[in-house]
Amino acid sequence: MRTTFFGFEIARRALQAHQQALEVTGHNIANANTDGYTRQQAVLGATEPFPMPAYNRPLITGQMGTGVRVEMISRMRDAFIDSQIREQNLTLGQWEAKESSLQQVEVIFNEPSEGGLGNLFSQFWGAWQDLSKYPESLVTRATVREEGVTLANAINHCWSQLEQIRSDLNESVKIKVEEINNIAEQIKDLNQLIVKIEISGDQANDLRDKRDLLLDQLSKIIEFSATETPQGTLIYIHGKPLVRETDIVELTTAENPLNDGLVDVVWSDDLTSVEIANGELKGLLDSRDDGVPSYMSELDSLAGTFINEINTLHAAGFGLDGSTGNDFFSGTGAEDIGVDVVLDDLNAIAASQGGEAGDGSNALAIAQLKDALTMSGGTATFGDFYKSVVATLGVDCQEATRTAGNQKLLVEQFTNRKEAVSGVSIDEEVMNMLKLQRGYEAASRLLTIMDELIDRLINQTGLVGR
């Protein structure tokens, strides 16, 4: 029922609504630099007018407004932009992982440089060329042996460093799996809190911000689909639930004996393989299982053929001590290549083809292997093959860097669009704050005027003329 004090209620509601809206604005300003925060807005709406249609409604003309209230506190968020950012994040994560591993491989090969394999091969061939001229010189023989040791050690080192990269990538896979589980656990907990808050009609805006930030982080690691239900956000990885209503199905890792003991990513409940199509985890697995092993295979092929070709000629030659049939290198590939211990005796180095003193023809033949077509089915020299490996690495690394850079730009563009919608502008909030301040002041003035009117009605009516 409308009473004499009806205006007081309108003023009270106006004060309360504008105060609450000012508090929301203050919350925005306080979180202007909070990662993942979404700008909030107090949505003001008129309260129900008086009187409402009824059989016994008061006989007054029209309906009277009853004031204002905060109908809801909304988040200024665009779901389409969120989906675009997460989609581009997937590709960015995958290419950043590839870029990182390829850059490490580039550092290992270290080309072009004095310590690179290309230069060490050249020095090795040069030492044999010198030996062909001075086959009886122990100094020259010592140089041949040391250049061989240096080259073998460098190939060993490259191989072991590449193995270490694979091992590091394997550990990174385990870490990412734990990170996925941790994010899933946090999302599950937030789901439960959000449901408890919103079941009563409130908006859990800040908790939703935290959950969306976690989804953004997860989107860079692995491809997933998210479905909003009354129980919260459910997450699926290719149709299998990672986050359910009240629990999660964790991912885990299992060693694969068919893949050098490296781990596969599997579901913890049934140990079936997790289908990983994109994201940072995909990039790590591709680099570990395909990228780095491809360069290891090329290096091993180079070392294996190199060992065989050198040993074939060296075993057919004769040393100063008349020995023959000795290998120059031991081992079968990049992992175990080394100079044979028999050459600790420098006289055993087979520089001669016939065993005559001063004959350096075998050393010359070995030196000429530099230009022999021994690699790629007899179509490339050792040097050409190695240069092609380095060139391929450079192209792969440039492609990864370029693609990752392009993806960063795309993510930044979508992020800027998101900030235009969801980000907090201090200038805009200050303007809004001034507008709400004026509304609050006007409501206060209305309350003062109503108080004066009631005071005159109660205390001063009938006093005139007394």
Counting the structural domains of the chain, the total is 2
Question: What is the tens place of the pLDDT at every residue in 21-34?
Answer: 999 999 999 999 99
Q: What is the pTM of this model?
A: 0.86
Which 3 state secondary structure label does DSSP give 297?
A: helix
432 vs 341: CA distance, rounded Å: 84
Q: For residue 44, list its beta bridge partners.
A: 70
199: domain range?
Answer: 85-409
- The pLDDT tens digits of the residues spanning 351-371 come to 999 888 889 999 999 999 999
* Whole-number pLDDT of residue 466: 46
User: Do 338 and 294 fall within a single domain?
Assistant: yes
Question: Per-residue pLDDT tens for 196-206?
Answer: 998 888 889 99
Same domain assignment for residues 386 and 250: yes
Name the pairing type of β-strands 263-267 and 251-255: antiparallel
Eight-class DSSP state of 364: H
Residues 107 and 134 in one domain: yes
Question: pLDDT grade, residue 1 (50/70/90)?
Answer: very low
What amino acid is encoded at 80 in this protein? Answer: F
Confidence of residue 449 (pLDDT cuts 50, 70, 90): confident
pLDDT at 58: 59
How far is residue 277's CA from residue 331's CA, in Å, rounded to a whole number?
A: 39
User: Does residue 414 belong to any structural domain of this protein?
Assistant: no
Within this chain, do residues 98 and 71 fall inside the same structural domain, yes or no?
A: no
The tokens for 461 are 């009516």
Residue 33 lies in a domain: yes
CB 3 within 8 A of CB 59: no
- Do 185 and 92 share a structural domain? yes
pLDDT computed for residue 54 by the predictor: 57
In a domain, 418, yes or no: no
- Rounded distance between C-alpha atoms, residue 247 and residue 233, angstroms: 12
Whether 190 and 206 have beta carbons less than 8 Å apart is answered as no
> What is the pLDDT of the chain when averaged over all its residues?
91
Q: How many CB atoms lie within 10 A of CB 291?
A: 24
Q: Does residue 190 sit within a domain?
A: yes
Sign of the C-alpha dihedral computed for residues 176, 182, 187 and 190 taken in this order:
negative
In angstroms, rounded to a whole number, what is the distance separating the alpha carbons of residues 121 and 112? 13
Task: Label residue 336 by pLDDT band (50, 70, 90).
Answer: very high
> Which residues face 251 on adjacent strands?
267
Cβ contact 193:207 at 8 Å:
yes
Quick: pLDDT tens for 415-426: 999 999 999 999
> Same domain, yes or no, for 329 and 442?
no
23 sits in which H/E element: helix 6-30
d(CA 192, CA 189): 5
